[in-house]
Amino acid sequence: MKKIILTIGFVSFSCFFFAGASKYPPLSGSQQQPSLKNSAKFPIGVAVDIPALINNEDYKNIVTNEFNSVTTENQLKWNRVSPAPGVFNFKGADAIVDFAAQHNMRVHGHVLIYFESLPQWVQNFQGDSAAWEQLFKTHIQTIVRHYRGKVASWDVVNEVIDQNGNPAVNDGHRGGSVNVWLQHLGSDYVARAFTYAHEADPNAVLFYNDNGHESYPKKLAAIIKMANDLKARGIPIGGLGVQMHMNINVTPANVKNALTQMARTGLQIHISELDIRLNPNNLPDTLSPEITKQGALYNCLASAYRTLIPKSQQYGITFWGVSDNNSWIINAMHQHDSPLLFNNKYGKKQNYQLFMKGLSSN
Given the residues 155, 210, 214, 337, select the one marked as catalytic: 210
Selected binder of ligand G3I within 162, 273, 324, 337 (CB under 6 A): 273
Instruction: Give the list of residues 6+ apart from residue 95 with CB closer than 8 angstroms, or none.
Output: 50, 53, 54, 75
Q: Which of the stretches 54-62, 69-77, 278-286, 344-352 binds ligand G3I when contact is defined by CB under 6 A?
A: 69-77
**How far, in Å, CA of 6 to CA of 3, rounded?**
5
Burial class (CB in 10 A: 0-12, 13-18, 19+), 83: middle
Given the residues 49, 66, 155, 159, select the one marked as catalytic: 159
Phi/psi of residue 220, nearest 5 degrees:
-55, -45
Selected binder of ligand G3I within 73, 162, 201, 324 (CB under 6 A): 73
How many residues bind ligand G3I (CB under 6 A)? The answer is 10
Pick between residue 77 and residue 108 the one whose CB is nearest to ligand G3I. Answer: 77
120 binds ligand G3I (CB under 6 A): no
214 counts as catalytic:
no
Exposure letters 85-104 (e unless 16+ CB within 10 A, then b): eeeeebebbebbbebbeeee
59 binds ligand G3I (CB under 6 A): no
210 counts as catalytic:
yes
Instruction: Give the list of residues 6+ apart from residue 78 with CB closer than 8 angstroms, or none.
Output: 114, 117, 118, 119, 122, 139
Q: Which of the stretches 12-20, 121-129, 164-172, 324-332 binds ligand G3I when contact is defined by CB under 6 A?
A: 324-332
Count of CA atoms in the C-beta half-sphere (13 A) of 200? 27
**How far, in Å, CA of 167 to CA of 175, rounded?**
17
Other CB atoms closer than 10 Å to residue 194's CB: what's the count? 23
What residues between 215 and 244 interact with ligand G3I by CB under 6 A? 243
Q: Partners of 247 in the beta sheet?
A: 277
Smallest distance, ligand G3I to C-beta of residue 328, A: 3
Smallest distance, ligand G3I to C-beta of residue 123, A: 14
77 binds ligand G3I (CB under 6 A): yes
Selected binder of ligand G3I within 2, 149, 332, 345 (CB under 6 A): 332
162 binds ligand G3I (CB under 6 A): no
Smallest distance, ligand G3I to C-beta of residue 117, A: 4
275 binds ligand G3I (CB under 6 A): no
**Chain centroid to CA 114: how far?**
14
Q: Which of the stretches 22-30, 32-40, 73-81, 100-108 binds ligand G3I when contact is defined by CB under 6 A?
A: 73-81
Phi/psi of residue 117, nearest 5 degrees:
60, 30
Pick between residue 116 and residue 290 the one whose CB is nearest to ligand G3I. Answer: 116
**Chain centroid to CA 173: how far?**
20
Q: Which residues bind ligand G3I (CB under 6 A)?
A: 73-74, 77, 117, 158, 243, 273, 328, 331-332
Catalytic sites, residue numbers: 159, 210, 273
